[in-house]
Every structure is written in C-alpha cells, then in structure tokens.
Amino acid sequence: MVSYVAYLRKEQDSDFGVEFPDLPGCVTAGHSVEEAQAMAREALAGHVDVLQSEGMPVPPPSALDALIGDPDRRDAVMLLVELDPHYLKAERVNITIPRHLLGRIDAASAGNRSRFLVEAAERALSD
C-alpha cells in the first residue's frame, strides 16, 4: 500500500482541513478528525484518478523525513493517507520498437525492460 503525507489543521470556527504537500490543489475538510481522514482518502484517490485520466504523472510520496520541520506547516499535524493500490496498478501494453533500439535497451536494463522504460518515461515527462 502506498501512503501519502497529509497535513491536518484546525482553525477556530472552521472544519478540520487537509492538504497534501506532494499533490498541490488536493485539499479537503471534515467536521471531525475521523471525517477529515475519510475525506482525505477520497480526495487522494480522486486527485490521482484525474491526473492519470489527463495523462499527467502521479508524483511519488515524499519521505516523512523530508517534510519534518516544514516552517509553513508548523500548525499542522501529519497524517499518512493510504492510496488504493488499484490507482498505481501496472498495465500491460503492446508497443513496437526498432530492433536495434530494443537491443540497446536490453543491454542497459539488466534484464528488466519494463522498469527501464518506465523510469525513462518518468524522467522525460518530469521536465
């Protein structure tokens, strides 16, 4: 199961708000902590679904250590929100690649073409 860090905060006279530092614009709220957590799971799944349907990359979750001490979020509590693995499920595809290029990929991939191609695509699309 993949988990993303979310920030939970409560201001006076408001609901519990939730935001995801790895997914700008993915925010939600709830009247209680429990409701905010449930809404966070839904918001995360919905946000990832929209990114994938629009062909956009899904950012990997940050490590907790990388987010500890963020000065913009001192008033927030960290939550780990699990993402249903269905959203990151691999899909088998059939592609055509020139034979000479496939040989170079095989030589460079240490026997794992799929991982090599996925990593190359992620690098190319992250620019």
Radius of gyration of the chain (CA): 19
Highest mean pLDDT among 76-80, 81-85, 90-94: 76-80
Could you report the per-residue pLDDT of 27-66, keeping only the tens digit for each? 999 999 999 999 999 999 999 988 887 888 889 999 888 8
Angle between helices 99-108 and 113-125 (to 10 degrees): 100
This prediction has a pTM of 0.67
Question: What DSSP element (H or E) covers 115?
Answer: helix 113-125
Return the pLDDT at 96.
93
Return the pLDDT at 98.
94
Q: Are 64 and 78 in contact (CB under 8 A)?
A: yes
**pLDDT-derived band at 80, boundaries 50, 70, 90:** very high
Whole-angstrom distance, CA of residue 27 vs CA of residue 3: 16
